[in-house]
Structure 1
Amino acid sequence: MKGTAMRGPDDRGPMRPFPLSEVYRLLEPGPVVLLTTAHQGRSNVMTMSWHMMVEFTPPLIACTVSDADFSFVALRATSECVIAVPAMELASKVVEIGNCSGRDVDKFAATGLTQLPAAAVTAPLVAECFANLECRVVETSLVGKYNLFVLEVVAAWHDPARDNSRTIHHRGHGTFVVDGETILLPSRMP
């Protein structure tokens, strides 16, 4: 920064430089999810971890879907998808889905995941996931520059028998963390 003197590493205690290309590993958002689409008679599912809540009411989610992903074309064309939340028991299938392209593979058939009909969108729910969020694209102004879509959740489903499911969180380079102990602390937030 202009006007800021460079300090030596000892001035920062135990802090050491961290590669900028690895910053995402420190801030990787919420659980790894599956994003499903349906376009031209074909359903697809992709693994996604770059997403975040934007608003509570209506529930809005921002997510990044690379224009290199097969799902990008379907999401752009249909403006709808499902975000399915898998539990840790599906971790190997989640990685398998993320390691291939829907251009070449029917990922539902390859992984044995079950498609269920959604109520408000054409993209399928994923039966094996403990929650499914039917979404419509409501904002695309940042798609051209950042591949960032804003989705409104228009219907939500969960399996009450799996309310205590543990999610997986991507830490980069094939490393995942499984969500752990729940703690309760006083808060004025709802």
Structure 2
Amino acid sequence: MSTRLPVELPKAYRLLNHGPTVLVSCAHGSARNVMAAAWSMPLDFSPPKIAVVIDRATRTRELVDASGEFALNIPSKEMVEATLAVGSVSGRDVDKFQAYGLATFAAEKIAAPLLEGCLGWLECRVIPEPPIQLRHDLFLAEVVAAWADARAFRDGHWSFEDGCPRSIHYIAGGNFFETGTAFSAKPS
């Protein structure tokens, strides 16, 4: 099992800045669900805020609307089949955690479960913006806690050393790519 390290909240945006596919987990009462989302992004540093699209027709949307919170889990290539699966079926029809063998652990500040095996976790509380939620299915949220797998993200940065797990990015039609090699540019 990997070591989870806390991520300083002003640096939590770095977990999402490169545009990975995320798994949105949520819970309300005894109900819980998880869905894949390709459209999420950081919005601010302090307090840290994110945006994510959650379609109004989903079970996840019902639970987020009811609870006012959710988690963004950042999967690696090892979770690609589960990522595609939870994005392809409805939580109204199947318990995705059980059906796809998704282990969870408790979040620190929210009720939504966090998924084992991910590279990063952001615990989020919805910032109510009914007009954009209703019109665009866009949710803004404050990140209240953030964690990362020490093998992949440490000292506020993703690690691109050989053998380090990397995030995945959805293209379309069941196709993904894994984050590639990092390089630096120098100002001219």
5+ residue gaps in structure 2? 1-17, 154-163
- Identity over the aligned pairs, expressed in percent? 36
C-alpha distance in structure 2 between counterparts of 1:184 and 1:162, whole Å: 18
CA displacement 1:46-94 (0-9 Å, x = unmatched): 1111111111221111111000111001111111001000011111110
Provide the TM-score with structure 2 as the length reference: 0.80
- C-alpha distance 146-186 of structure 1, shift in aligned 2 (>3 A): same
Aligned twin of 1:154: 144
Pick the aligned partner of 2:88 from 99, 102, 109.
99
> What letter matches 1:96 in structure 2?
A
**Pair 1:181 & 2:170 matched:** no
C-alpha distance in structure 2 between counterparts of 1:172 and 1:157, whole Å: 28
Aligned twin of 1:63: 52
Query: Which of these two proteins has the greater Rg computed from alpha carbons?
Result: 1
**RMSD value over aligned CA atoms?**
1.4
> What letter matches 1:158 in structure 2?
A
Shift of 1:162: 3.7
C-alpha distance in structure 1 between counterparts of 2:174 and 2:117, whole Å: 22
Q: Which has the higher contact order (CA 8 A, sep 6+)?
A: 2
Count of paired positions: 159
C-alpha distance in structure 2 between counterparts of 1:186 and 1:60, whole Å: 29
Pick the aligned partner of 2:110 from 102, 117, 121.
121
Shift of 1:186: 3.0
Aligned twin of 2:168: 168
Runs of at least 4 residues off by over 3 Å = none
> What letter matches 2:135 in structure 1?
K
